[in-house]
Structure 1
Amino acid sequence: MTTHPITLKQIAEATDAKLTGGENVLVTDVSHDSRKAGPGVLFVAIRGALLDAHRFIPQVMVAGAVGVISEQDRPRDFQGAWLQVENVRRAMAHSAAEVHHHPSRALELVGVTGTNGKTTTAYLIASIPEAAGEPVAMTGTVEYRIGKERRTAERTTPEATDMHRLLRQAVVLGCRTAVMECSSQAMDFHRCDALEYAVAVFSNLTRDHLDYHVTMGNYWYAKRRLFDGRLGGKPKTSVINVDNHYGVELADDLEREGLRVIRYALKVGADVTARNPEFSLDGMRFDLHTPSGDREFVSPLVGAPHVYNTLAAVASGLALEYDLDVITGALAQCTGAPGRFERVAHSGDFAVVVDYAHSDDALLNVLKTAREVTKGRIITVFGCGGDRDSSKRAPMGEAAGSLSDVVILTSDNPRTEDPQQILADAELGIQKTGKPYRKIADRREAIYASIAQARSQDMVLIAGKGHEDYQIIGREVFHFDDKEVAREALSQK
């Protein structure tokens, strides 16, 4: 496809903007980042809670920006083109889609949402086109990928300007499929607007992010955006976990509208199901049942949560019209996302596992998996994030105590909160279980202490940070990698 530059007039029409000046000026890109604004770039001025980007308008215009999108009136002394809009974030998405010629229309775009499992599910789905010999694009919590190019993710769901640009690059590279994690906050901020989804996946909904959403009702309302048309259109196929009661509600609503739904489940009847699952530290096996046939399935992933992630990927692959043998062959080889029930290799006779679980439901699920594959004790190291939803701290403590033999409560990313207060909040939940525990605010010391007491056939579970290689204390970011620290502690045991 040969693309041509878009004019400011076309962007004004696409965003319902009031345009002053420069109707025929050509736009080659859209950016919310003043550092990336230059010749041909339309700058989006967003007034955030901590920073008002309007302060950078003089410098972006000097750098050559072609104009500004803003919710504010055009300043009297402003000389360039000004597009005034009602909602600047929505306009940012639609202007980026227009400038990059709606790249999602040239792709099979898969959006994955839910509280838990998004990242692993995205990795699994992306492995399917790769197994078919196709380049694939993927964005998520860990990394952004276009074909063989990989870079560390800045956020789970990129800003709309970055997302549309990345998808256009994927089209140019020859990708047929792109997979993205769609967080609830990202959808609230219109980062997923003006994208056309071939497949939308709903994994589950449990308590999280209530510091932002306040209520579960608000949280659910945000998640439903991916399916109900508020992003601009409805997905061609919705893949939904109907073992989750929110999923049942969603599937029923979509089917009543005559939309295509593929249901997956472990506990109830569904289109894609698994029977007779078996788990070990080396992986899992189960009997896979699909509309395209049945298979005996083996995977290096461990635990019931990964069965759900696999079923979601199988259903997505079928929705994308891949052959079932290509799908199962890809998933049988895929090791999933880093930091998700990831073993730290060592020569000892006990296991050390790092996992990203950072909510009570996720922690409970990973502990259930740990309990299924551990003959000895489970020693759990975990903490809770500072400046985040404090209501989940005691439930996380209770989850940790309920299935662990020993708990070491430590810091996660305390940010600007007092680490000892965070520990005290979580401690209330642990105390309900009556399990032995220690409070060690220093995460390195906590990991060392857990490994020092591990015995034959035990498991040390280090939860909360997974793939992350940093810790935020105050407003400073320090290098910290749970796997690295665990290996250091193991070398000294």
Structure 2
Amino acid sequence: MTSHEAMLGVDSLARGTGVAAVEGVEYDSRKVKPGSIFVAMRGEATDGNRFIANAVSCGARVVVTDSREMWERAGEFPEAEFYFSEHGRQALATVSANVFGHPEKSLALSAVTGTNGKTTTSYLLESMLRSLGRTCVLIGTIEYHVGDAVRVSPHTTPESRDVLELFADGVTVGATEAVMEMSSHALEQERVWGLPVDVAIFTNLTQDHLDYHGTMEAYFAAKARLIEGVGTEAPRVAVLNADDVYGERLIRTAGKSQVVSYGMERGDFRAGQVRMRAGKTTFMMTTPHGSVEMQSPLTGRVNVYNLLAASAAAMARGLTLEQVVAGAAAGAQVPGRFQVVPSTNGVTVVVDYAHTDDALRNLIALGRELVAGRGGRVITLFGCGGDRDRTKRPRMGRAAGEGSDLVVLTSDNPRREEPMTIIEEALAGVNETATTCIVEEDRAGAIEIAIRAARPGDIVLIAGKGHEKVQILSDGKIPFDDVAVAAGVLQEMTQ
């Protein structure tokens, strides 16, 4: 491929002949090889333009920069062609699509956005599609799937170059479908620029990420870009939550897409006669195509919403009602999403990713519902992440205190903040309630306190980190797994 072919569709100013032979594209100078195109762009944490010299020394023969200053200094790097594009991430997406042979055109893409439920809805939809023998690419918070292969997930929504490489790998193994979580950061930063979305799903919107977006309106605007299209036409179908106030707004404004709504009592897909216990949920799903009983190994009303959303999306992708039912029943447990830790002492221990006040409130309500018939208590352990939205900390504390019989407040991922400072801000919310709260900064110690405080019939909810396998501290990451720690405590108690 020539540099001219790689740059097709990129709005740029050129200083080069367009005949350089290129073999790949990178935005990280450490990954540049001879013949690479290096896209230098400004990011959240650093500016890729600082590493142009390093990229050229490693063999980059084409540089695309979003810095006019660096473009004007192109003469300092005579061995490389230079291109200036004002929108660096758009340029990266377009160049990557060209280099990888436009795999996005060979895949029907379903994309999920929202504060809560993205991961579970994505897993459910992939399960339904795979139950018919369709080969899929899955990109999300927990892991990436390329056909049957599972890969580590460094980011919920990676940069466009990495998305397109995953898509290309998927096409190579026969994939025809892709399911992606699209975070608000990725939508606003145009990491998904130019990806044609066939079916878009909006789950809900509650307070989160205001450290980045500033206001709920800005947060909503970022999410809404999925329904509008990011450098592409609007999705063919928009699956929207009719029970969410922001979902209602999208229903009124998503004029270019076919709208399919869902909710408990209203919408095109509705749920009734919900019955649940730990490890199983059953309900009647009413759809424009008829009514049917749904069974799933997932637990809780939040997962009823996720099942409704995935079902509507699956039918938009051509599945029948019977095929949706079969796919839902076959859906496996999603790691860290109401994951029950095996126990033999009559105590139910659950690990869940809930890390907003709304998600925590929903989790606790489900815990309360599960123990109501046996007179059990709800014990909730949680913490708040450092270097994130501080305003949600007391809100999370209040949610935990209002719904629980006992709260254990601990550290989550403190990052660069002092753990006790974070805990004190969350404790202010707990103290607005009458619920007893035990503070233990060490998360492993807190998990042991919570489990040992439980009696037969109680439920212990370990919230916040879910599937994560590390804890992020000021001096780096350490191995940490809520499920493994909880299992260890339970094992010790039986010896």
Q: Same fold, TM exceeding 0.5?
A: yes
CA contact (8 A) 1:9 1:19 kept: no
> How far apart are residue 13 of structure 1 and its match?
4.1
Query: Do structure 1's residue 430 and structure 2's residue 430 form an aligned pair?
Result: yes
For 1:200, the aligned partner's letter is: A
Match of 2:13 among 18, 32, 42: 18
1:267 maps to 265
The separation in 2 between residues aligned to 1:252 and 1:26, in whole angstroms, is 49
Aligned to 1:406: 406
> Residues of 2 paired with 1:464 and 1:238: CA distance?
29
Residue 336 of structure 1 and its aligned partner are, at CA, apart by 4.1
> What's the secondary structure of 1:354's corresponding residue?
strand
1:280 maps to which of 277, 281, 288: 277
CA positional deviation for 1:447: 0.4
Is the CA contact (8 Å cut-off) linking 1:410 and 1:440 kept in structure 2?
yes
Q: Deviations over 1:363-405 (max 9, x none)?
A: 0011111111113011111000011100000000011111110
> Which of 21, 32, 48 is the equivalent residue of 1:37?
32
Structure 2 stretches of 5 or more lacking a match? Answer: none
In the aligned structure 2, how far is the partner of 1:99 from the partner of 1:336? 37
2:309 paired with 1:340: no
1:104 deviation in Å? 1.7
Alpha-carbon deviation of 1:321? Answer: 0.5
| Deviant stretches of 4+, over 4 Å | none
Question: What is the deviation of 1:31?
Answer: 1.3
Q: Which amino acid aligns with 1:301?
A: L
1:489 corresponding residue in structure 2: 489
Out of 72-81 and 112-121, give the one that drifted further: 72-81
Count, aligned residues: 485
Contact 1:367 1:403 in 2 (8 A): yes
Aligned equivalents of 2:236, 2:365: Cα separation in 1: 35
- Give distance in 1, aligned partners of 2:363 and 2:317: 30
Q: Which residue number corresponds to residue 71 of structure 1?
A: 66
Q: What is the Cα deviation at residue 448 of structure 1?
A: 0.6
Identify which range, 12-21 or 436-445, moves more after superposition. Answer: 12-21
- Aligned equivalents of 1:170, 1:445: Cα separation in 2: 43
For 1:479, the equivalent position in structure 2 comes to: 479
Q: Which moved more, 1:223-232 or 1:311-320?
A: 223-232
The match for 1:357 among 351, 354, 357 is 354
| Matched residue type, 2:52 | I
Q: Which amino acid aligns with 1:260?
A: Q
Measure how far apart 1:130 and its partner are.
1.1
Q: Map 1:200-239 to 2 at 5 A.
A: 200-239=200-239
Paired with 1:179 and 1:432, the residues of 2 have a C-alpha distance of 42
* Structure 1 segment 128-277 matched on structure 2, within 5 A: 128-255=128-255, 257=256, 259-268=257-266, 270-277=267-274
- Match of 2:196, SS state, is coil
Give the conservation status (yes or no) of the 8 Å contact 1:123–1:336: no
What amino acid is the match of 2:393?
R
Q: Once the 2 structures are TM-superposed, how far is the Cα of residue 429 of structure 1 from its aligned partner? A: 0.8
Contact 2:33 2:59 survives alignment (8 Å) = yes
Q: Is the 8 A contact 2:115 2:204 kept in 1?
A: yes
Query: Are 2:265 and 2:272, in contact at CA under 8 Å, matched by a contact in 1?
Result: no
Task: State how far apart, in whole Å, the 1-side matches of 2:475 and 2:209 are.
Answer: 20
Deviation at 1:492, TM superposition (A): 2.0
Q: Compute the displacement of 1:134 (Å).
A: 2.1
TM-score where L is the length of structure 1: 0.96
- 2:119 aligns with 119
Q: Aligned partners of 1:232, 1:10: CA distance in 2, in Å?
A: 21
- Residue 49 of structure 1 and its aligned partner are, at CA, apart by 4.5
Structure 2 CA distance for aligned equivalents of residues 490 and 140 of structure 1:
31
Q: Distance in 2 between matches of 1:77 and 1:401?
A: 62
Q: Which moved more, 1:229-238 or 1:276-285?
A: 229-238
CA gap 1:39/1:323 in 2 versus in 1, 3 angstroms: farther
Report Cα offsets for 1:74-117 as digits up to 9, x if no partner: 21311111110111112111211222232222111011000000
Alignment equivalent of 2:307, drawn from 310, 329, 339: 310
Distance 1:304 1:231, change over 3 A: farther
TM-score computed with the length of structure 2 as normaliser: 0.96
CA–CA distance in structure 1, aligned partners of residues 298 and 84 of structure 2? 50
CA distance in 2, matches of 1:453, 1:148: 42
- In the alignment, residue 470 of structure 1 is paired with which amino acid? V
- Measured in 1, the distance between the counterparts of 2:328 and 2:150 equals 20
Matched letter for residue 326 of structure 1: Q
Question: What is the one-letter code of the residue matched to 2:139?
Answer: T
Structure-2 change in CA distance of 1:49 and 1:166 (3 Å): closer
Structure 1 gaps of 5+ residues are: none
* Deviations 1:137-172, CA, capped at 9 Å, x for gaps: 100000011011111100000111100111111112
Find the residue that maps to 1:224 and give its secondary structure: helix
Residue 11 of structure 1, CA deviation: 4.0
Confirm or deny that 1:372 pairs with 2:369: yes
Report percent identity of matched pairs: 41
Q: 1:470–1:481: 8 Å Cα contact kept in structure 2?
A: yes
